[in-house]
Structure 1
Amino acid sequence: MTNGFAQTDARLPAYARLRDTLSGRIARGEWTPDQPIPSEARLAGEFDVSVGTVRKAVDGLVGEGLLERRQGSGTYVRAPSFNATLFRFFPMRESDGSPLSIPQSRMLDRTLTRATGEAAQALGEIEVIKITRLRSLSDQPVLFEEIYISRDRFDGFQDLPESAFGPLLYPLYFERFGLLVKRATDEVSFGRASDAVAGQLQVPQGDPLAIIRRTAFDIEDRPVEWRIASGSAKGFRYVSEIK
């Protein structure tokens, strides 16, 4: 190491090497969204660089969505902010027309299993944990999800108490396992409801479904999760803005 930097290409400028070093700390969970990261002056002293170099490195991480600046408070690791993104395909509202809050989630099962087909290809692993969830808006089932995560990277997930789970999984991935979801890709297709899925969504068997396949990636661009979410095609909407 030089100046405390991680093993990075020595030909890179100092701010780029520092940016990569700081992103490694984020990946290892050394900083959390609850507390500000060290000040620019403190980081400058630790790495023996100028405050301007630190600021440029931090600016890069803010631009990449890994850090966020909070006015009057400091700079923080940005918590996973995917909240209800799958629900942009199912834009439902409360009876008074106001936007719905984060959807409710009910964990149906957590199983150690072997991945097959699409899940294995997406994750590059066979030994996985399979999660099944039902997500609802105003007590109305909207999405049935089958989620696959690495057994090694999420060791102990299957033994977590029910109280550990809130409506969102990505914050749990970060807080419990140090895995920060940076980005995700969604692929949309259509199909028909099997008997099992129809029962969960409370729709007739064979009803048309919108099917969303998502692969989520960490800050090192390694796949963290693959899921397939199914919802009634009757409420499906897709909007794309082209400029």
Structure 2
Amino acid sequence: MPREAQYLAVAEVLRARILSGEWEIGERLPSRARLAVEYEVGRNVLQRAMNRLIIDGLLEGRAGSGTYVRTPRERLRLVRSRLRHRREGSRPVPDRRERGRADAWDSHSQVRVPAPEPIAERLAISPGDLCVNTHYEFLADGQPVQLSESWEPLAITGETPIVLPEMGPLAGKGVVERMRSIGVVISRVVEVPRPARATQVQANLLGISVGDLVLQIERTIFDADGRPVETADMVIPDVRREVVYEFGVDRP
């Protein structure tokens, strides 16, 4: 049997045993060595199978103790829609269909940060051009549910009252409203979602494990002339959030 299929098969058997209640929530599973012997597979195969179930939220590893059946966590809904983009910027906007909506956030902005090459490409500026860089951490009921890093060209917002997204007369109003106040009309938002694994920094901030599945959303906001005015990278832990994209239908 191919190694890839082998570890997935073992994961599915373990999943069935867990869901059947063979091991209670909080109970320690047999050692990896014992399970490897039981399934007649190598320890690496068994390790990959258990890692799969840890990522899926069924198991949790405890350093120096072993692997335990994890208490189920509800995945909260995050709605992304065209209507929402008309009014949102870097901060999530509450939606009555969402469960556990973000109700608090921390932010930190830096001015005159040179744009790294990938960011400069997304903003159609030159590498090293100065930007305002803002980091966000969003909480729902005290639990971290999303990270975001935003970049705005200083050539657009510099010397204006909206240069800092979370300070000034339009603090926290979002990119669309802030840009409108200086005569920049937003016409479209482009999002590129990609699955990824949590880095050490992301895991620390989100309270998850390194390597846990996350959804990274690369978002860029354009004005009516097609000029990028802001780009952001959002990180959403898969174990905590399900992301729903909603699209309206144009009527003839």
TM-score range, shorter chain: 0.5 to 0.7
Please give the secondary structure, in 1, of the residue aligned with 2:135. strand
Q: 2:27 matched to which residue of 1?
A: none
Matched, 1:197 2:202: yes
Q: Go from structure 1 to structure 2 and tell me whether the alpha carbon gap of 1:145 and 1:178 turns closer, same or farther (over 3 Å shift).
A: same
CA distance in structure 2 between the partners assigned to 1:159 and 1:242 by the alignment? 29
TM-score (norm 2): 0.52
Shift of 1:113: 1.4
Please give the secondary structure, in 2, of the residue aligned with 1:237. strand
Q: 1:148 matched to which residue of 2?
A: 151
Q: 1:185 matched to which residue of 2?
A: 190
Q: Go from structure 1 to structure 2 and tell me whether the alpha carbon gap of 1:170 and 1:139 turns closer, same or farther (over 3 Å shift).
A: farther
Match among 176, 180, 183 for residue 174 of structure 1: 180
Structure 2 alignment gaps of length 5 or more: 1-81
CA distance in structure 1 between the partners assigned to 2:157 and 2:90 by the alignment? 22
Q: Is the 8 A contact 2:90 2:232 kept in 1?
A: no
Q: 2:122 matched to which residue of 1?
A: 122
CA distance in structure 1 between the partners assigned to 2:246 and 2:179 by the alignment? 29
Matched, 1:139 2:159: no
Q: Which of structures 1 and 2 has the bigger CA Rg?
A: 2
CA distance in structure 2 between the partners assigned to 1:171 and 1:159 by the alignment? 11
Shift of 1:237: 3.2
TM-score (norm 1): 0.54
Please give the secondary structure, in 2, of the residue aligned with 1:172. helix
Q: Is the 8 A contact 2:107 2:166 kept in 1?
A: no
CA RMSD for the aligned pairs? 3.5
Please give the secondary structure, in 1, of the residue aligned with 2:155. coil
CA distance in structure 2 between the partners assigned to 1:242 and 1:167 by the alignment? 24
Q: Is the 8 A contact 2:213 2:237 kept in 1?
A: yes
Give the AA of the match of 2:193: V
Higher deviation after alignment, 188-197 or 198-207: 198-207
Q: 1:105 matched to which residue of 2?
A: 105
Higher deviation after alignment, 223-232 or 189-198: 189-198
Q: 1:231 matched to which residue of 2?
A: 236
Give the AA of the match of 1:226: T
Post-superposition CA distance 1:186-227 (Å, at most 9, x none): 000011111222222222222211000001011222111111
Q: 1:218 matched to which residue of 2?
A: 223
Q: Go from structure 1 to structure 2 and tell me whether the alpha carbon gap of 1:119 and 1:205 turns closer, same or farther (over 3 Å shift).
A: same
Give the AA of the match of 1:205: V
Q: Is the 8 A contact 1:143 1:201 kept in 2?
A: yes
Post-superposition CA distance 1:147-171 (Å, at most 9, x none): 1111111104149747752263432
CA distance in structure 2 between the partners assigned to 1:120 and 1:145 by the alignment? 17
Shift of 1:108: 2.3
CA distance in structure 1 between the partners assigned to 2:242 and 2:139 by the alignment? 15
Q: 1:61 matched to which residue of 2?
A: none
Task: Count residues with an aligned counterpart.
Answer: 157
